[in-house]
Amino acid sequence: MSEEVPEKPPYRPCVGVVLFNREGLVFVGKRIPDSGPEHVEGPHVWQMPQGGIDPGEEPLAAATRELHEETNVRSVTLLAQASDWYAYDLPSTVASQAWKGKWRGQTQMWFAFRFEGDDSEIDIASPAGHEPEFEAWRWERLERLPELIIPFKRPVYERVVAEFARFSGVPA
């Protein structure tokens, strides 16, 4: 009789947003400690807006909703959608605690938007009436993003950079 290997939990369906300003720089937010399922400290606390897709919600609608919830931004133009879903696994020490073990990681559809507003539209302190996820923000060069993100998400960020480099003036 063979032992059954337990199935891994599924990936949580999510979206990610690359928000380019007119100069081709990208919005990054500094995570508030303990604001997400993975506890982040040290130099890798910066990330782009991202979040879960609600049941029945289309990915593009989720991307615009998450962007608004995390930054208060609405003045955007869609530039592109990623050609595929990108997935990452949470480290085992985090996976058992994050989302009560329901998900093993996330699979994300990424969208690139051009920010058409003024920086004063960005409000991370009280974004759209939601709890803040970021304690600071800045515009950053796209190619620097993989070094700013928590290491287990780095391969996804590398793919995002390659996918959307054409909007920043940076070679892929």
Instruction: Break the chain into its structural domains and give their ranges.
Output: 15-167
Average pLDDT over every residue of 62-91: 96
Bridge partner list, 113: 19, 78
pLDDT band at 126 (very low <50, low <70, confident <90, very high): confident
Average pLDDT over every residue of 14-43: 81
Which pairs with CB-CB distance under 8 Å and at least 24 residues apart come from 164-167? 164/18, 164/20, 164/79, 164/80, 164/82, 164/110, 164/112, 167/18, 167/20, 167/24, 167/79, 167/80, 167/112, 167/114, 167/142
pTM of the model: 0.87
Amino acid type, 35 = S
pLDDT band at 122 (very low <50, low <70, confident <90, very high): very high
Paired tokens of 68: 């608004």
Q: How much of the chain exceeds pLDDT 70, in percent?
A: 84
Q: What is the pLDDT of residue 172?
A: 44
Look at strands 105-115 and 86-89 and give their pairing. Answer: antiparallel
pLDDT of 20 higher than 90: yes
Average pLDDT over every residue of 102-122: 94
What are the angstrom distances between the C-alpha of 162 and each of 13, 28, 38, 53, 169? 21, 17, 25, 24, 12
Q: What is the pLDDT of residue 61?
A: 98
**Of 151, 154, 37, 41, nearest to 102 (Cα)?**
37
- Assigned CATH class of 15-167: alpha beta
Q: What is the pLDDT of residue 134?
A: 94
Q: Is 83 exposed, middle or buried (0-12, 13-18, 19+ CB in 10 A)?
A: exposed
**Of 37, 25, 47, nearest to 150 (Cα)?**
47
pLDDT band at 82 (very low <50, low <70, confident <90, very high): very high
Q: How much of the chain exceeds pLDDT 90, in percent?
A: 67
pLDDT band at 36 (very low <50, low <70, confident <90, very high): low
Average pLDDT over every residue of 19-48: 80
